[in-house]
């Protein structure tokens, strides 16, 4: 989910009020204008790209030529590329970012009949990087995106320089409260079906959700609701996906790629106990835990998270 920060929100509200009197679609126009501004502030441009596996990608890439270390950023379940805007903005000019909407998410191909398991998604991302002419790169993923990062690294270790796991699935130790909610309720807070549901999603995803105007939440909630059928199909596949349940399998023992595990201590979805588990499973990993942060450190604490990765990526490329 795209979660902007306060200066952006203030500007967005100003744009909205200026447009309100003259256009029935003022809210959508304000939303689009503000989001485009944030992409520009992060040095990112949007594009669409077709790959030979019949996926039409919607993605963000850094402006200019690929003349810096390349970083592939992978969002989590139900989210999209805009989750990384604040993080990428902190590192503008230092790295070349590739930030796609995953298949089934955002404006990339959405088809409830596709295979959305980790191995399939990571193969698609490798095809995307081939299409972009990129051989070696760093990868960082949040939540489900972390599980995809693990799969990428296992499939093509010779191409992955380093791996970032941000409140990552893969071992997928859910918190007790999240497990109980899924077991005892017909609704999933990660699959909003209305703007009101999206408020609940924000509360589960972050420790302290930033203020957002009501019209902004309405637009985002409507976008998520339109994709609820596909999101439900993806979530059902994840439940049976071996790539989401790697703990104790020994499949990570040979993953020697340098890994940085970053976690929000207040994560309500995947508990902080995942950190020690990842350190036990991955032979070349280190970790950092951020206090008073929830499931989305790169959005909730972009400066701190970016500082961690700046140092990590600089060390990993030597």
List, for residues 211-250, the tens digit of each pLDDT value: 777 777 888 899 999 999 999 999 999 989 999 999 999 9
Dist. CA 290–CA 313, nearest whole Å: 19
Q: Which domains does the chain have, with CATH numbers?
A: 6-316 (3.40.50.1820)
Nearest to 143 by CA among 259, 247, 264: 264
Say what the pLDDT of residue 178 is: 97
Say what the pLDDT of residue 316 is: 87
Query: Residue 80 above 50 pLDDT?
Result: yes
Angle ∠(47,53,54) on CA atoms, nearest 5:
65
pLDDT confidence tier of residue 5, bands split at 50, 70 and 90: very low
Please tell me whether residue 193 adopts helix, strand or coil conformation.
coil
Are 294 and 264 a contacting pair, CB within 8 Å?
A: yes
pLDDT confidence tier of residue 1, bands split at 50, 70 and 90: very low
pTM: 0.93
pLDDT tens-digit readout, 141-157: 999 999 999 999 999 99
pLDDT confidence tier of residue 33, bands split at 50, 70 and 90: confident
Q: Mean pLDDT across the stretch 52-60? A: 98
pLDDT confidence tier of residue 11, bands split at 50, 70 and 90: low
End-to-end CA distance of the chain: 34
């Amino acid at each position: 989910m795209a979660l902007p920060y306060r200066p952006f929100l203030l500007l967005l509200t100003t744009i909205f009020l200026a447009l309100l009197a003259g256009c029935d679609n003022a809210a959508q126009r304000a939303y689009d204008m503000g989001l485009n501004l944030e992409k520009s502030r992060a040095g990112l441009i949007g594009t669409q790209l077709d790959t030979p596996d019949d996926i039409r990608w919607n993605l963000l890439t850094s402006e200019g030529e690929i003349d810096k270390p390349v970083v592939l950023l992978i969002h989590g379940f139900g989210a999209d590329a805009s989750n990384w805007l604040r993080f990428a903005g902190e590192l503008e000019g230092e790295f070349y970012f590739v930030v796609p909407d995953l298949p089934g998410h955002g404006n990339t191909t959405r088809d409830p009949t596709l295979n959305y398991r980790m191995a399939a998604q990571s193969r698609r991302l490798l095809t995307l990087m081939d299409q972009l002419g990129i051989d070696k790169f760093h990868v960082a993923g949040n939540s489900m995106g972390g599980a995809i990062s693990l799969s990428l690294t296992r499939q093509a270790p010779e191409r992955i320089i380093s791996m970032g796991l941000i409140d990552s699935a893969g071992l997928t130790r859910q918190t007790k409260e999240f497990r109980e909610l899924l077991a005892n309720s017909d609704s999933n807070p990660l699959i909003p079906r209305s703007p009101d549901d999206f408020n609940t999603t924000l509360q589960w995803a972050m420790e302290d959700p930033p203020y957002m105007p009501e019209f902004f939440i309405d637009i985002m909630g409507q976008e998520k609701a339109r994709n609820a059928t596909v999101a439900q199909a993806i979530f059902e596949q994840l439940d049976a996906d071996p790539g989401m349940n790697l703990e104790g399998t020994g499949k990570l023992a040979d993953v020697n790629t340098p890994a940085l595990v970053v976690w929000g201590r207040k994560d309500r979805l995947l508990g902080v106990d995942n950190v020690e588990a990842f350190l036990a499973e991955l032979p070349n990993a280190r970790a950092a835990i951020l206090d008073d942060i929830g499931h989305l450190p790169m959005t909730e604490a972009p400066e701190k998270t970016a500082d961690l990765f700046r140092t990590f990526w600089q060390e990993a490329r030597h």
